[in-house]
A = this chain, B = another copy of it.
Amino acid sequence: MIERLVIFGVGLIGGSLALALREAGAVREVVGCSRNADNLREAERLGVIDRWTTSVAEAAEGADIGVLAVPLGAMGPLARDLAGCWPEDSPLTDVGSSKQAVIDAVTEGFGTTPRQFVPGHPIAGTEKSGVTAAFPGLFRDRLVILTPADATNPMASDRIAQMWQATGARVEFMTPAHHDRVLAATSHLPHVLAYTLVASLSDMSERDEIFHYAAGGFRDFTRIASSDPVVWRDICLANRAAILEVIERYQGDLEQLRGMIESADGPAIEARFRHAKETRDRFCDPADAQLDT
């Protein structure tokens, strides 16, 4: 049982975590903390948190577990505020999409990597944002990746793992650098590509018409381009090196395909598409892949 859970930043992720732990009966009291009192009032009204404060020091008092659920760019300032007041034996975790950057920000804020800090990332979310989009089932059957730093106390890792398991999530461990590389490929790159597609089409002269004729495939493909621009700006900045690497790889592959289309090389185009389809069917829709064979 978590006696007092403190959520810093009560949006989609922080709010859903609070709701999931409440539903599981795994938490006694949830305290919300952020700079935005209106948002906290709304979260209280929705029953996501029991009480709130805009003071980090007040929130830290008697806290059992703390969750940093603010955008990546806000992690550093928040860590500085926490440095003087966060209880030494209370695990602190975060939900940022880039792990090394959060470890660096927290380390800088505290002056050292706190032993009770367990970097984490739930692989879950929707293109919606804000506490009104929060729901308790968000993490059910989803993965949560924990990336302990060298200094992290294993007991703190265990408690954070248990917290996530109570939401219905599966927990896995990996190094921060490895997490950042994998997520750059599976999550950050697709967002970059989708944002770029919508921006690219919206600058064409037939814009209104183009969107009028967009079918379901386009809507699915661009859904992630409706994600929060600030969150994704911060991710691009925080995981810059790994993201640049996959963008460059992608640019090379796209240029190759462009060349195949330019030279009307049917067999090469088909081979490329077939390879992609087979890969996707095998990994993403194993049931469909079986049906096809």
Contact = CB atoms under 8 A, between A and B. Distances in A.
Interface string A251-267: 10111011001101010
Contacts of A264: 237, 240
Interface in A113-153: 123-128, 142-143, 145
Contacts of A249: 200, 204
A66 B203 CA distance: 39
Given A202-B275, A223-B220, A236-B261, A196 B254 contact: yes
A240 B257 CA distance: 12
A226 B199 CA distance: 25
Interface in A223-244: 223-230, 232-234, 236-237, 240, 243-244
Copies of this chain in its oligomeric complex: 2
A173 interface: no
A258 B251 contact: yes
Contacts of A143: 213, 215
A257 B202 CA distance: 15
Contact of A261 (B126, B243, B281): B243
Interface of A is mostly: helix
Interface in A192-227: 192-204, 206-227
A38 interface: no
A14 B193 CA distance: 33
Contact of A232 (B207, B212, B251, B273): B273
A280 interface: yes
A124 B215 contact: yes
B279 A202 contact: yes
B210 A276 contact: no
B123 A280 contact: no
Interface in A138-184: 142-143, 145, 181-183
16 contacts: A123-B213, A185-B206, A185-B210, A187-B214, A191-B217, A193-B254, A198-B279, A199-B272, A199-B276, A217-B223, A218-B284, A220-B224, A228-B277, A229-B274, A240-B262, A247-B258
Interface of A: 73, 123-128, 142-143, 145, 181-183, 185-187, 189-204, 206-230, 232-234, 236-237, 240, 243-244, 246-251, 253-255, 257-258, 261-262, 264, 266, 269-270, 272-277, 279-281, 283-285, 288
